[in-house]
Amino acid sequence: MLSLLEPLGRVHARGMFGGYGLYGDGLFFGIVLDNTLYLKADDRNRAEFEHAGSELFSYSRKGKRATLNFYRAPEDAMDAPHLMLPWAKSAVAAALRARAGKPQRTARGRRQLSAAGKRSRRR
């Protein structure tokens, strides 16, 4: 499955959820679970995935159904790297937007001060 993402650049996988999280340049943009690829979505690219008929990633948590903002990669994109590339780029862009909206953390896990000298509020 990683070969489909080669045009994106360096991608590595880390174990999670009984599957793998996919990372490129430190950005978490994909999940592989049960041989299924899910890609990061947000308000700006969600409609693309829904229009393609992609399913939202869901799992069972404490006996209830939970979802994450990841959608199954479209079937036709699974056929070749050049077909996957636009979807993967869209997922990376969503991951970039998500990271931009979060306060930066220091090596010790503390929130950094804003330019005004105030601590970022936790959401």
Which whole number is the average pLDDT over 30-38?
Answer: 95
Query: Model confidence at 53, in pLDDT bands (50, 70, 90)?
Result: very high
Question: Residue 29 is part of which domain span?
Answer: 2-100
Q: What is the CATH number of the domain that holds 89?
A: 3.30.1460.30
Query: Model confidence at 120, in pLDDT bands (50, 70, 90)?
Result: very low
Whether the CB-CB separation of 59 and 17 falls below 8 Å is answered with yes
Q: Half-sphere exposure of 109 toward its Cβ, with a 13 Å CA cutoff?
A: 0
In a domain, 96, yes or no: yes
In a domain, 45, yes or no: yes
Domain count, the chain: 1
Q: What tens digit of pLDDT does each residue of 64-84 get?
A: 999 999 999 999 999 999 999
In a domain, 105, yes or no: no
Whether the CB-CB separation of 38 and 91 falls below 8 Å is answered with no
